[in-house]
Amino acid sequence: RTDFQTRDIMSSAALAARRAVASPSTQCSASTQTLKHRVIATRRARDSRRASSASASASESAQLLRGRTVANKLADTSLFLIGIMGSGKSTVGASLAKALGYNHLDTDELIKSVTKKTPSELFAEAGESEFRAIESMILAEVAAYKRCVISTGGGIVCEKTNWMHLHNGVTVRLHGDSELLARRVLADGVEKRPLLSGDTSGEEQPTIDSIVAKINALLETRETMYKQADITVPLGARDDADGAPVDVVVDRLLTALEERVEADAVQNKLHNEPREGDITVTDPRGELGPRPERPGP
Protein backbone atom coordinates (compact mmCIF):
# COMPACT_ATOMS: atom_id res chain seq x y z
CA ARG A 1 0.00 0.00 0.00
CA THR A 2 1.11 3.49 -0.72
CA ASP A 3 1.58 6.03 1.99
CA PHE A 4 -1.50 7.80 0.72
CA GLN A 5 -3.60 4.65 1.13
CA THR A 6 -2.27 4.10 4.66
CA ARG A 7 -3.12 7.65 5.61
CA ASP A 8 -6.62 7.26 4.15
CA ILE A 9 -7.25 4.02 6.10
CA MET A 10 -6.03 5.62 9.33
CA SER A 11 -8.19 8.65 8.74
CA SER A 12 -11.21 6.45 8.04
CA ALA A 13 -10.55 4.41 11.19
CA ALA A 14 -10.27 7.55 13.27
CA LEU A 15 -13.48 8.87 11.81
CA ALA A 16 -15.26 5.57 12.47
CA ALA A 17 -14.01 5.60 16.04
CA ARG A 18 -15.33 9.12 16.57
CA ARG A 19 -18.66 8.08 15.09
CA ALA A 20 -18.84 5.02 17.34
CA VAL A 21 -18.25 7.14 20.44
CA ALA A 22 -21.02 9.46 19.38
CA SER A 23 -23.38 6.67 18.24
CA PRO A 24 -26.83 6.41 19.93
CA SER A 25 -26.08 2.98 21.35
CA THR A 26 -22.95 4.22 23.09
CA GLN A 27 -24.67 7.39 24.28
CA CYS A 28 -27.55 5.31 25.61
CA SER A 29 -25.14 3.04 27.44
CA ALA A 30 -23.36 6.03 28.97
CA SER A 31 -26.66 7.61 29.94
CA THR A 32 -27.79 4.33 31.50
CA GLN A 33 -24.60 4.13 33.55
CA THR A 34 -25.04 7.74 34.68
CA LEU A 35 -28.66 7.07 35.59
CA LYS A 36 -27.65 4.00 37.61
CA HIS A 37 -25.09 6.03 39.51
CA ARG A 38 -27.67 8.70 40.23
CA VAL A 39 -30.19 6.14 41.46
CA ILE A 40 -27.59 4.54 43.73
CA ALA A 41 -26.53 7.93 45.09
CA THR A 42 -30.17 8.89 45.69
CA ARG A 43 -30.87 5.63 47.52
CA ARG A 44 -27.79 6.07 49.69
CA ALA A 45 -28.76 9.64 50.56
CA ARG A 46 -32.31 8.52 51.35
CA ASP A 47 -31.07 5.67 53.55
CA SER A 48 -28.71 8.05 55.32
CA ARG A 49 -31.54 10.49 55.98
CA ARG A 50 -33.75 7.69 57.29
CA ALA A 51 -30.98 6.47 59.59
CA SER A 52 -30.38 10.00 60.87
CA SER A 53 -34.10 10.55 61.33
CA ALA A 54 -34.46 7.27 63.22
CA SER A 55 -31.51 8.15 65.44
CA ALA A 56 -32.94 11.62 66.11
CA SER A 57 -36.36 10.14 66.89
CA ALA A 58 -34.85 7.64 69.31
CA SER A 59 -32.87 10.40 71.01
CA GLU A 60 -35.96 12.61 71.23
CA SER A 61 -38.02 9.75 72.66
CA ALA A 62 -35.38 9.07 75.30
CA GLN A 63 -35.32 12.77 76.22
CA LEU A 64 -39.11 12.91 76.47
CA LEU A 65 -39.13 9.85 78.73
CA ARG A 66 -36.45 11.34 80.94
CA GLY A 67 -38.21 14.70 80.94
CA ARG A 68 -41.44 13.16 82.22
CA THR A 69 -39.50 11.51 85.04
CA VAL A 70 -37.99 14.84 86.05
CA ALA A 71 -41.39 16.55 85.75
CA ASN A 72 -42.86 14.09 88.26
CA LYS A 73 -40.09 14.97 90.71
CA LEU A 74 -40.71 18.69 90.18
CA ALA A 75 -44.31 18.22 91.38
CA ASP A 76 -45.74 20.87 89.02
CA THR A 77 -43.16 23.52 89.99
CA SER A 78 -42.61 26.09 87.22
CA LEU A 79 -39.18 26.99 85.85
CA PHE A 80 -37.90 30.49 85.02
CA LEU A 81 -35.06 30.75 82.48
CA ILE A 82 -32.82 33.77 82.98
CA GLY A 83 -29.63 34.93 81.30
CA ILE A 84 -28.02 37.63 79.20
CA MET A 85 -29.02 38.21 75.57
CA GLY A 86 -28.03 35.42 73.18
CA SER A 87 -28.21 32.67 75.78
CA GLY A 88 -31.10 30.97 73.96
CA LYS A 89 -33.77 31.25 76.64
CA SER A 90 -36.66 31.15 74.14
CA THR A 91 -35.30 28.26 72.07
CA VAL A 92 -34.16 26.15 75.01
CA GLY A 93 -37.36 26.98 76.90
CA ALA A 94 -39.56 25.60 74.13
CA SER A 95 -37.57 22.35 73.92
CA LEU A 96 -37.40 21.94 77.69
CA ALA A 97 -41.16 22.46 78.02
CA LYS A 98 -41.75 19.77 75.41
CA ALA A 99 -39.49 17.32 77.26
CA LEU A 100 -41.21 17.99 80.59
CA GLY A 101 -44.72 18.09 79.20
CA TYR A 102 -45.02 21.66 80.49
CA ASN A 103 -46.46 24.79 78.88
CA HIS A 104 -44.00 27.32 77.45
CA LEU A 105 -44.42 31.04 78.03
CA ASP A 106 -42.13 33.80 76.75
CA THR A 107 -42.36 37.20 78.47
CA ASP A 108 -41.20 39.09 75.35
CA GLU A 109 -43.85 37.37 73.24
CA LEU A 110 -46.50 38.13 75.86
CA ILE A 111 -45.43 41.79 75.87
CA LYS A 112 -45.86 41.87 72.09
CA SER A 113 -49.27 40.24 72.41
CA VAL A 114 -50.46 42.74 75.03
CA THR A 115 -48.96 45.97 73.68
CA LYS A 116 -48.92 45.12 69.95
CA LYS A 117 -45.32 46.34 69.91
CA THR A 118 -41.96 44.59 69.94
CA PRO A 119 -39.58 45.18 72.86
CA SER A 120 -37.39 47.31 70.57
CA GLU A 121 -40.36 49.46 69.60
CA LEU A 122 -41.36 49.90 73.23
CA PHE A 123 -37.83 50.89 74.18
CA ALA A 124 -37.71 53.44 71.39
CA GLU A 125 -41.17 54.92 71.99
CA ALA A 126 -41.71 54.67 75.75
CA GLY A 127 -38.22 54.15 77.18
CA GLU A 128 -36.63 51.36 79.16
CA SER A 129 -38.35 52.20 82.48
CA GLU A 130 -41.79 51.81 80.91
CA PHE A 131 -40.75 48.56 79.25
CA ARG A 132 -39.49 47.20 82.61
CA ALA A 133 -42.75 48.15 84.29
CA ILE A 134 -44.78 46.24 81.68
CA GLU A 135 -42.35 43.31 81.89
CA SER A 136 -42.83 43.15 85.67
CA MET A 137 -46.61 43.12 85.28
CA ILE A 138 -46.38 40.27 82.79
CA LEU A 139 -44.10 38.30 85.13
CA ALA A 140 -46.45 38.81 88.06
CA GLU A 141 -49.26 37.39 85.98
CA VAL A 142 -47.49 34.26 84.68
CA ALA A 143 -45.72 33.44 87.96
CA ALA A 144 -49.04 32.27 89.40
CA TYR A 145 -49.22 29.35 86.97
CA LYS A 146 -47.84 25.88 87.59
CA ARG A 147 -46.25 23.45 85.11
CA CYS A 148 -44.73 26.19 82.97
CA VAL A 149 -41.31 26.90 81.54
CA ILE A 150 -41.08 30.70 81.39
CA SER A 151 -38.44 32.30 79.18
CA THR A 152 -37.71 35.79 80.52
CA GLY A 153 -36.01 38.89 79.18
CA GLY A 154 -32.34 39.38 79.95
CA GLY A 155 -32.96 42.38 82.21
CA ILE A 156 -35.79 40.93 84.26
CA VAL A 157 -33.37 40.20 87.12
CA CYS A 158 -32.63 43.92 87.52
CA GLU A 159 -35.90 44.68 89.29
CA LYS A 160 -35.78 43.52 92.91
CA THR A 161 -39.55 43.04 93.08
CA ASN A 162 -39.33 40.54 90.21
CA TRP A 163 -37.41 38.12 92.43
CA MET A 164 -40.48 37.69 94.60
CA HIS A 165 -42.16 36.12 91.56
CA LEU A 166 -39.07 34.29 90.29
CA HIS A 167 -38.77 32.55 93.65
CA ASN A 168 -42.19 30.98 93.05
CA GLY A 169 -40.38 28.41 90.93
CA VAL A 170 -36.90 27.20 90.03
CA THR A 171 -34.67 29.82 88.40
CA VAL A 172 -32.29 28.47 85.77
CA ARG A 173 -29.48 30.54 84.32
CA LEU A 174 -28.22 29.75 80.83
CA HIS A 175 -24.59 30.86 80.77
CA GLY A 176 -22.04 31.15 77.97
CA ASP A 177 -18.91 33.19 77.28
CA SER A 178 -19.35 36.67 75.82
CA GLU A 179 -17.96 35.83 72.36
CA LEU A 180 -20.34 32.89 71.95
CA LEU A 181 -23.30 35.06 72.95
CA ALA A 182 -22.17 37.90 70.66
CA ARG A 183 -21.98 35.59 67.64
CA ARG A 184 -25.50 34.37 68.35
CA VAL A 185 -26.85 37.89 68.76
CA LEU A 186 -25.27 39.03 65.50
CA ALA A 187 -26.61 35.99 63.62
CA ASP A 188 -30.09 36.42 65.07
CA GLY A 189 -30.30 40.12 64.20
CA VAL A 190 -29.27 43.10 66.29
CA GLU A 191 -32.56 44.87 65.55
CA LYS A 192 -34.30 42.39 67.86
CA ARG A 193 -32.19 43.54 70.81
CA PRO A 194 -33.44 46.86 72.20
CA LEU A 195 -30.24 47.48 74.15
CA LEU A 196 -28.24 47.13 70.93
CA SER A 197 -30.52 48.40 68.18
CA GLY A 198 -30.39 51.95 69.53
CA ASP A 199 -26.73 51.85 70.58
CA THR A 200 -24.14 50.88 68.03
CA SER A 201 -21.39 53.13 69.46
CA GLY A 202 -21.33 55.24 66.31
CA GLU A 203 -21.05 52.25 63.99
CA GLU A 204 -23.36 51.69 61.05
CA GLN A 205 -23.43 47.98 61.85
CA PRO A 206 -22.31 46.54 65.18
CA THR A 207 -19.41 44.10 65.10
CA ILE A 208 -18.62 41.09 67.24
CA ASP A 209 -16.19 43.21 69.26
CA SER A 210 -18.75 45.95 69.98
CA ILE A 211 -21.40 43.40 70.97
CA VAL A 212 -18.92 41.61 73.25
CA ALA A 213 -18.13 44.95 74.88
CA LYS A 214 -21.84 45.63 75.42
CA ILE A 215 -22.47 42.17 76.89
CA ASN A 216 -19.51 42.52 79.25
CA ALA A 217 -20.78 45.93 80.38
CA LEU A 218 -24.21 44.46 81.12
CA LEU A 219 -22.68 41.55 83.01
CA GLU A 220 -20.79 43.96 85.27
CA THR A 221 -24.11 45.23 86.60
CA ARG A 222 -26.11 41.98 86.42
CA GLU A 223 -23.69 39.19 87.32
CA THR A 224 -24.46 39.23 91.04
CA MET A 225 -28.17 38.95 90.22
CA TYR A 226 -27.69 36.13 87.72
CA LYS A 227 -25.72 34.25 90.37
CA GLN A 228 -28.86 34.09 92.50
CA ALA A 229 -30.24 31.44 90.14
CA ASP A 230 -30.97 28.05 91.65
CA ILE A 231 -29.23 26.30 88.74
CA THR A 232 -26.65 27.43 86.19
CA VAL A 233 -26.32 25.48 82.94
CA PRO A 234 -23.33 26.03 80.61
CA LEU A 235 -23.89 26.57 76.88
CA GLY A 236 -20.37 25.88 75.63
CA ALA A 237 -19.05 22.92 73.65
CA ARG A 238 -15.44 21.90 73.10
CA ASP A 239 -15.81 21.19 69.40
CA ASP A 240 -18.40 23.79 68.38
CA ALA A 241 -17.79 27.54 68.35
CA ASP A 242 -21.55 28.12 68.26
CA GLY A 243 -22.05 26.28 71.54
CA ALA A 244 -23.78 23.04 72.41
CA PRO A 245 -26.90 22.01 70.42
CA VAL A 246 -30.27 22.67 72.02
CA ASP A 247 -30.91 19.00 72.84
CA VAL A 248 -27.56 18.80 74.64
CA VAL A 249 -28.37 21.90 76.69
CA VAL A 250 -31.77 20.40 77.56
CA ASP A 251 -30.07 17.17 78.68
CA ARG A 252 -27.71 19.18 80.88
CA LEU A 253 -30.67 21.04 82.30
CA LEU A 254 -32.59 17.86 83.09
CA THR A 255 -29.54 16.47 84.87
CA ALA A 256 -29.11 19.65 86.91
CA LEU A 257 -32.80 19.71 87.83
CA GLU A 258 -32.76 16.09 88.93
CA GLU A 259 -29.70 16.66 91.11
CA ARG A 260 -31.23 19.79 92.64
CA VAL A 261 -34.55 18.08 93.40
CA GLU A 262 -32.74 15.20 95.12
CA ALA A 263 -30.60 17.62 97.14
CA ASP A 264 -33.69 19.60 98.15
CA ALA A 265 -35.43 16.38 99.21
CA VAL A 266 -32.58 15.66 101.63
CA GLN A 267 -32.68 19.26 102.89
CA ASN A 268 -36.45 19.14 103.38
CA LYS A 269 -36.09 15.95 105.37
CA LEU A 270 -33.75 17.79 107.71
CA HIS A 271 -36.30 20.57 108.23
CA ASN A 272 -39.39 18.38 108.70
CA GLU A 273 -40.98 18.08 112.12
CA PRO A 274 -39.86 14.87 113.82
CA ARG A 275 -42.31 12.06 114.28
CA GLU A 276 -42.43 9.74 117.25
CA GLY A 277 -39.57 7.33 117.08
CA ASP A 278 -37.55 9.44 114.61
CA ILE A 279 -35.09 10.67 117.21
CA THR A 280 -32.86 8.26 119.04
CA VAL A 281 -29.90 9.28 121.15
CA THR A 282 -26.92 7.10 121.68
CA ASP A 283 -24.49 8.08 124.39
CA PRO A 284 -21.12 6.37 124.00
CA ARG A 285 -20.34 7.18 127.65
CA GLY A 286 -23.36 5.24 128.89
CA GLU A 287 -24.51 8.14 131.04
CA LEU A 288 -27.98 8.42 129.45
CA GLY A 289 -30.83 5.95 129.77
CA PRO A 290 -30.85 2.87 131.97
CA ARG A 291 -27.46 1.93 133.21
CA PRO A 292 -26.29 -1.56 132.34
CA GLU A 293 -26.13 -3.94 135.25
CA ARG A 294 -22.68 -4.53 136.55
CA PRO A 295 -21.53 -8.12 136.53
CA GLY A 296 -21.37 -9.77 139.95
CA PRO A 297 -18.12 -10.32 141.74
Over residues 218-272, the pLDDT tens digits come to: 999 999 999 999 999 999 887 777 899 999 999 999 999 999 998 887 666 665 6
In sequence order, what are the residues at sequence separation of 6 or more whose Cβ sits closer than 8 angstroms to the Cβ of residue 238?
A: none
% pLDDT > 90, the chain: 52
φ, ψ (nearest 5 deg) of residue 104: -115, 130
Going by C-alpha positions, the residue among 184, 183, 181, 218 that lies closest to residue 199 is 218
Q: Is 117's pLDDT higher than 60? A: yes
HSE value, Cβ hemisphere, 13 Å, CA-based, for 152: 36
Range 54-80 average pLDDT: 87
Q: Is the pLDDT of residue 18 over 60?
A: no
8 A C-beta contact, residue 149 and residue 102? yes
* In the predicted structure, residue 9 carries a pLDDT above the cut 50: no
* Best CA proximity match to 78, nearest among 99, 108, 104: 104
pLDDT at 200: 46
Question: What's the pLDDT tens digit per position in 172-210?
Answer: 999 999 999 999 988 887 777 877 765 544 556 778 899
pTM (global) more than 0.85: no
DSSP string, 229-287: -SEEEE---TT-TT-S-HHHHHHHHHHHHHHHHHHHHHHHHHHSPPPTTS-----TTS-
Query: Looking at residues 105-112, what average pLDDT do you find?
Result: 94
Per DSSP (E only), the strands in the chain are 79-82, 103-106, 148-151, 170-175, 231-234
User: Given a cut of 80, is residue 66 above it in pLDDT?
Assistant: yes
